[in-house]
A and B are shown apart, each in its own frame.
Chain A
């Protein structure tokens, strides 16, 4: 008997049909093994006894009745905090394909997700499913008889990019002859693993990525580099020969920098570069946040903080007061830390004010590049509103900055790196090369790498996206060894290598028909087209239909 009081009718009550993901359970296939309930990261699955009525009808008789049968079934928790997140772990472990989540267009959960008075927080990226603008840009300047076409399969291609300040030839020669300082420049693969910290990522994920990066460099000769994010680097890694594949990040929280400074005199090699984070595309004006669930003993030790506390990085650096000061002080100091031999560049969120930052960098002798992160970038933790509605799309932002450099004749001197939604729908090379031909010298990609190298389940239909609370079903963003040990670092490294090998193939498949083989087509916007007149006009590329 169900009492009247327990029938849910309060404002916040939800029925299973109101949830964003509905569990579909097939009783006829279920063997009651319980694996689904054991694996569910949010404990939404409940094994319960349920009762069903079997009508009893006897022909030629007025005797009718019911018999009741109890059976063991699965109920879905309708609490806001325990709603199904659609990760599908249950389907992954079910031996019998008896269970799995189904997306529900009509969810009412979104109106109730404010329980406790806090706004919705999550990981992932902007919940805007479907093709992005970058997915619609195509490469249509094809070498057809007018110039020799290349064969992606057999010709040799050079597609590395430069990270660092490239001096004009006469200035280079002058400095070379007079023995003056020449800014450091790195030749790197233009697809960079975007900044994800040791802390945001589990140790198995972070080290798996670095292992794959090291394999790409040392075995395959692809000069892949990865950015660490703020949160430091394990001391052994800082003293390893693999540090040269790492872009260290400094942000307003300065987490992990004590270990880095301690290690500088003992470093075998210099890091690839230093990234100064001023902003992030996914949550502009909002600092980093490592929530207490993820501050394990290991992370606390690495970051020099107490265990189990929230670790916010404020949105601004406390000791920087103006753009000039930010640019000058931070870049000069970080350059000096490695004797002016390591490129240093700032990372900002996409913004209509990006050009002002760029123009400051142009005048700064130590600035190596500008990295702009657009609104479609991912994050481990942010408010929904920041993710969904705050920021600037990357394409026009990069384009404006590049054309501004062209006006000053500086487009070959200071590289712009772009990020934010690269590979959002899997078209990582298409997106990246579109940005490169719009003027970027390379791209950063984070979420795509998690999806490709580690099987991240997140999607723009708000699937999973629980990176912030440390229950990642794949073990990518968890600090609980019982979860992150699900991820084998060797597998991550292996998939990362496969990803970069495939990226290499696709880059050639685009460059060959364009007739380019000897340099990355940075700013080659005459090769781009889009079937959208407004976007074509805005980006100053060809409208095609």
Chain B
């Protein structure tokens, strides 16, 4: 099994063989050896779907590489491409370690869920987009020696990128135009200049903390070894040269929804100064108060005032009573035999009903009772000079 097998991408006439037939040859060779050399000639989707049952698989790519190198790569697969690579390196990779010693074009690591991609140069647009991270597996990693093209890390969910800015294709903006749109997880280490066009609602600029810096330092030597540039270790180990873009967690993002400036701040800084620092209609209506009020207000702001029609509508006994005793209720309680309740109700209106007040009362309730005419006998006083009321007074029936 350990013998190295070479699979050629061209037939005996030097003609390119199709991706489908090449894949067939690779899968056949793989049954004999897990150590393959592929002399590709633009074949696509090379290096994926090699199921070894956990045993290490080594694929070396020589020759022009097609698109989607290492796509659907499985854990245990180690791919080394000695030259540059085309689009979508590591597309849907779920564990392969892919090294490209040259540069790679667009879409590197698109939808990758696990594994590592080491690029020895710069990459094109839309690298590290739509990555996934299942917490049961490791986060996917993308290492780039140079710079990234535009729209980097869009919708990145968990991928970690390390962009070293060495011999960058775009040294003025190593993360390209508008990176991290829709990025909800993961983190980006970068070294070099960026243009600040990253999506500010998705990521924030931070500096690596000790733990994050240690994480980087631990892995740098292996990366540089893989791409064959170990001499860069010292240059890349200057902590002050590195910065990060870190995904904003949803809790923090929810707080950012209020917009770029509060209305109060706008009013204070821009609106009021526009009118010489005062109410814009202060000249038309001096002293006009426009401050907000509620739907139902009292005092000066009250819109409707009730008209008391008690004289016409209330019972005469209650209306003429100087202390507004609800005589009707009082009599009702007495008719119902609730003498104690009637007495307690009375106490709420007059403190001394049976002594001073009772004696000086001119009995306006009786004088004004409208039933005098009907019943002949109106409400009468009840002498309650004794300490205890034994008997309720007899009242006319209604």
Contact = CB atoms under 8 A, between A and B. Distances in A.
Interface string A204-234: 1001000100110011100000000000001
Contacts of B267: 211, 490
Interface in B222-280: 259-261, 263-264, 266-267, 270-271, 274-276, 278, 280
Contacts of B260: 219-220
Interface string B285-316: 10011111111110001011000000000000
A497 B270 CA distance: 15
B263 A235 contact: no
B270 A236 contact: no
B284 A215 contact: no
B55 to A, nearest CB: 42
Contacts of B270: 214-215, 218-219
A482 B263 CA distance: 24
A302 interface: yes
A161 interface: no
B280 A236 contact: yes
Interface residues of B, number: 37
A150 to B, nearest CB: 13
Given A215-B263, A497-B259, A240 B274 contact: yes
Which secondary structure dominates chain A's binding surface? helix
A487 B292 CA distance: 6
Contacts of A207: 280-281
B292 A481 contact: no
B295 A89 contact: yes
A489 B285 contact: no
Contacts of B141: none
Interface residues of A, number: 45
A88 to B, nearest CB: 12
Contact of A490 (B154, B264, B285): B264
A203 B275 contact: no
Interface in B143-160: 151, 154
B263 A490 contact: yes
Contact of B274 (A154, A241, A483, A493): A241
B60 to A, nearest CB: 36
B295 A93 contact: yes
A502 interface: no
Interface string A79-93: 000000000010011
A297 B288 CA distance: 11
A298 interface: yes
B292 A494 contact: no
Given A235-B283, A486-B295, A214 B271 contact: yes
Given A154-B182, A484-B290, 9 more contacts: A37-B304, A207-B280, A211-B266, A214-B270, A215-B271, A234-B281, A236-B280, A485-B291, A490-B264
Interface of A: 35, 37-39, 43, 89, 92-93, 153-154, 203-204, 207, 211, 214-215, 218-220, 234-237, 240-242, 297-298, 301-302, 481-491, 493-494, 497, 501
10 contacts: A39-B295, A220-B259, A234-B284, A235-B284, A237-B275, A240-B280, A482-B303, A485-B290, A485-B291, A493-B263
